[in-house]
Amino acid sequence: MSESTLRLLTLALEDLGVACAILDPALAIVAATPTADALTEGALVRGVSIVKAMCGDSLERPIAEALAAGRPASGTIVRPGADGVVRALEVRATPIIRDEERAGWLVTFARSSDRGTDIDAPIRFHGMWTRDPGMRRVFDIVERAARREVSVLVRGPTGSGKELIARAIHDLSPRHAGPFRAINCAALPPTLLESELFGHVRGAFTGALRDSPGIFRAAHHGTLFLDEVAEMPLDLQAKLLRVLETRTVIPIGSTDSVEVDVRIVAATHQSLRKAVEEKRFRADLMYRLRVVPIFLPPLAARRGDLELLTDKLVEQLNTEGARQVRQVSRGARDAIGAYAWPGNVRELHNALQYAYVVGDGPVLLDVELPPEVSGVAFDPDTPALNMRRPEPDREDESDDARRIRLALEHAGGNRERAAQILGMSRVTLWRRIKALGLDDSAGGEP
Ligand SMILES: Nc1ncnc2c1ncn2[C@@H]1O[C@H](COP(=O)(O)OP(=O)(O)O)[C@@H](O)[C@H]1O
Ligand SMILES: [Mg+2]
């Protein structure tokens, strides 16, 4: 096809109102409409692969992967413009198939704000930062749901902000002056979970030296956050459902029911529906808990937030420690942008904290990031990188201490029994007690 024919065809597409690029089967850019060129600020260099052309701002990985696999793809690409303002582009790539062969690709572009979303301005919502349109919708739903007495189920991978969302719901609700209580259903063995949730009376079991109200009563007139609710054993699910239906709890060992007025926000990293299909979770309880389901996207699916959160977390770390980072190097930003972040915002926070520990100076370098992020292999000759990682998750640590303390209480201080409840050896328990500094409350040597 001649140059002038190609030009005529792209102008025709332009007149049809389509901002698009045409690619050959190998993803090289053949032509683009003037609007597509304008929207991408000249990134669509002819003859270059679209993945490379949009690189630096990197064609988001899911899109690039779908293209490589020959599948249609769509998604949002976030690019800083020449004026420094970050804008989102909606990109949609469709293979052009003729005679069962892929003849090429049609890629369309639209500015996200054309569809009524505007990601330019970062917003702060109850301790969470975002410039992601999906997260903004989440915050809208949170605001609306908070005002009503409905049960909210937050689904999202670890470290994506489920607990922050639960707190935001509480703070925005008419119950905000009441207590907020959280319990992790995955962190406690079933017997402990039951007495933690519903309480017990003195003498209900060996270690029950006095009455314990349980977390439902502690959350009276407030909000109870049931984290990892899918991990709750089936018999406890039945008891939980009864509590929600009757609005009363019966502490273990008692026959008297006590009225409780509690709003539930539950969270899970896995699909409750799937748990129901696998008969691990009661369907009736699922419907009770997920009146308003809220989905938190993983950090990797909101790349626009990566830069923002990096900056905000650096600001925060600057106020905490000795190191003052004035600039995050291009290399470090690229490494952060290319990593998959399975641990989401919590992992990003930890990775930056690591850089504050192993590095110094005003510029944060990629080699100061954890090896899995920087891609720099562990080098035993580089002393800085030999340093111990900061604790991956302080929250887990306190969970651990709490679990052990509860088991000891439950067992009336008997370590043998506490170890049994926890499913660990006495020696391991003793070591954990030492490591966590729980010694005072827990007697002598094993
Ligand atoms: N959008 C966000 N902006 C700032 N910090 C966030 C955001 N989302 C999560 N965090 C931080 O990440 C960490 C994990 O959040 P958390 O709510 O405990 O996650 P989850 O309960 O899903 O595991 C916390 O330190 C929290 O402050
Ligand atoms: Mg959590």
Pocket of ligand 1 (CB under 6 A): 127-130, 156, 158-164, 309, 345-346, 349
Q: Answer yes or no: do 150 and 261 share one domain.
A: yes
Looking at residue 116, its pLDDT comes to 43
Looking at residue 434, its pLDDT comes to 84
The whole domain housing 236 covers 123-295
Q: Answer yes or no: do 78 and 170 share one domain.
A: no
Q: Which of 294, 346, 391, 399 maximizes ligand 1 atoms within 8 Å of its Cβ, making it the mutation to test the pocket? A: 346
Q: Report the C-alpha gap between 389 and 413 in whole angstroms.
A: 33
Residue 302 in domain: no
Instruction: Pull the structure tokens for residue 179.
Output: 């207590």
Q: pLDDT at residue 16 above 60?
A: yes
DSSP annotation of 424 reads S
| Helix or strand (DSSP H, E) at 198 | helix 190-198
Q: Answer yes or no: do 271 and 351 share one domain.
A: no
**Residue identifier of the C-alpha nearest atom 14 of ligand 1:** 159
The residue ranking higher by pLDDT, 2 or 266, is 266
pLDDT in tens, 387-415: 434 444 444 566 778 788 888 887 888 88
Q: pLDDT at residue 201 above 80?
A: yes
Q: Answer yes or no: do 333 and 285 share one domain.
A: no
pLDDT in tens, 233-262: 999 999 999 999 999 999 999 999 999 999
Confidence of residue 196 (pLDDT cuts 50, 70, 90): very high
Q: Report the C-alpha gap between 358 and 370 in whole angstroms.
A: 9
Can you give the pTM of this predicted structure? 0.66
| Cα 154 to ligand 1 centre (Å) | 13
pLDDT in tens, 319-374: 997 789 988 998 999 999 999 999 999 999 999 999 999 998 999 999 999 999 98
Structural domains counted in the chain:
4
Average pLDDT on 115-121 reads: 51
- For residue 49, the tally of other CB atoms under 10 A from its CB is 18
What's 131's domain CATH number? 3.40.50.300
Q: Report the C-alpha gap between 236 and 239 in whole angstroms.
A: 5
| Cα 348 to ligand 1 centre (Å) | 10
- For residue 254, the tally of other CB atoms under 10 A from its CB is 16
Residue 300 in domain: no
Q: pLDDT at residue 316 above 60?
A: yes
Average pLDDT on 58-70 reads: 78
Looking at residue 210, its pLDDT comes to 87
